[in-house]
Amino acid sequence: MRKFVLLLLVIAIAAGAGAAVLYERTHALYRGYSGEEQFVEIPAGAGTRAIGDRLVASGVVRDRLTYRAALWLSGQSRRLKAGEYRFDGPATPLDVIAKIARGDVYVVSVTFREGLTVADMANLFESHGLGSAAAFALAARDTSLVHDIDPAARNLEGYLFPETYSVPRHTDASHLVKMMVDRFMHVLTPDLKAAALERGLSIRQLVTLASIVEKETGRPEERPLVAAVYENRLRIGMGLQCDPTVIYALQLAGLYNGNLRRDDLHFDSPYNTYRYAGLPPGPIASPGKASLEAAAHPADVDYIYFVSRNDGTHEFARTLADHNRNVQKFQVQYFHDKHAKH
């Protein structure tokens, strides 16, 4: 009997010691992978055992027993979420489980600013390691995504809404493109559609005008004024004579080198608004919400001209005589004085 009690005592001491070791391990920092970072993919529907196997195999948790102890202590066994997780340093098993329970999945944030073309966006997509620019450009040809609002669309130029998108590393181009179109559809409110219709603009024409406004000015207060200038020109049958449309035409042809020359204004393209009257065939970039609003609600002014003040703002004019004086002041004289100083 004495031996049996002694045996039970030894077992109890050993179990207590083992539990103490396990408890200590659940709170101890651990890193069993050699690289700077380790990614662990938790598939949808994976059970706690499968999740533990992946964490142990990846060197994020020491062993299965430690994982099970930490899971029990955490009380989070029913809250573990699928997704890809990034670990970049030592962590306790309890911290690892808490991260997965929070759903703190790893995402790549890509910011597409206003005024980018599909080609620009494709290059950004590739630069963030999400895939090839060619894959993005191909996905941006899926016009079925905008068929309801623009049956004539030949690509998604103008319909990929500029914003910051946070996506998993393995997001394919078609998924991101759909996200961007869905966001555009959300921004294109019924009020915007109604305002465009009231002005006799199709959605395609609205977005095309908005894209021109986006490329012409980055000043919020100027967007309705720029929109008014182009609307007034359209109303009187005057050519838009918009430099960004020529640049876009040259880009499509692979001929733009960053400088717009006088001879380029004669380049034969339906997008060249120096040669062809009216709006170009489609958008020349992705407009933001403010430019869409400006195109739908231009300022009530009779300006026909505007010229850069060389500080990001523009001088507007009603007559050609006033415009010529502004050009003389803000372009000819400005550059003359600038060169004279050097």
Give all domains of the chain, ordered by start, each with its CATH number. 25-102 (3.30.1490.480), 107-187 (3.30.1490), 190-303 (no CATH)
* H helical segments located in 155-220: 173-187, 190-198, 203-216
Does pLDDT of 42 surpass 70? Answer: yes
Query: Would you say 48 and 70 are in contact if contact means Cβ atoms under 8 Å apart?
Result: no
Query: Would you say 157 and 284 are in contact if contact means Cβ atoms under 8 Å apart?
Result: yes
* Average confidence (pLDDT) over 328-337: 74
Direct distance between the N- and C-terminal alpha carbons of the chain, in angstroms, rounded to an integer: 106
pLDDT confidence bin for 23, thresholds 50/70/90? confident
* H helical segments located in the chain: 2-26, 48-57, 64-74, 93-102, 118-127, 133-139, 173-187, 190-198, 203-216, 223-236, 243-252, 289-296, 320-327, 333-341
Single-letter residue type at 23: Y
Among 108, 161, 164, 114, CA closest to 131: 108
Helix, coil or strand: residue 324? helix
Q: Which residue has the tokens 């876009």?
A: 248
Q: Residue 317: in which H helix or E strand, if any?
A: strand 314-317
Q: Residue 118: in which H helix or E strand, if any?
A: helix 118-127
pLDDT confidence bin for 53, thresholds 50/70/90? very high
Written as six digits, the tokens of 50 are 């499968």
Kindly report, residue by residue over 187-202, the tens digit of the pLDDT.
Answer: 999 999 999 999 999 9
Q: Residue 39: in which H helix or E strand, if any?
A: strand 38-42
- pTM score, whole prediction: 0.84
Kindly report, residue by residue over 170-185, the tens digit of the pLDDT.
Answer: 899 999 999 999 999 9
Which percentage of the chain shows pLDDT scores above 70? Answer: 92
Q: Which residue has the tokens 């921004």?
A: 187
Instruction: Give 63's Cβ-side CA count (13 Å radius).
Output: 5
Residue 217, number of CB atoms within 10 A of its CB: 20
Kindly report, residue by residue over 77-127, the tens digit of the pLDDT.
Answer: 999 999 999 999 999 999 999 999 999 999 999 999 999 999 999 999 999
User: What whole-number distance in Å separates Cα of residue 118 and Cα of residue 286?
Assistant: 8
Does pLDDT of 20 surpass 90? Answer: no
User: What whole-number distance in Å separates Cα of residue 324 and Cα of residue 312?
Assistant: 19
Helix, coil or strand: residue 36? coil
Residue 138, number of CB atoms within 10 A of its CB: 14
User: What whole-number distance in Å separates Cα of residue 258 and Cα of residue 147?
Assistant: 33
Q: What is the pLDDT of residue 170?
A: 87
Q: What is the pLDDT of residue 5?
A: 42
315: left (phi over 0), alpha (psi -120 to 50) or beta: beta
Q: What is the pLDDT of residue 267?
A: 95
* Average confidence (pLDDT) over 128-148: 96
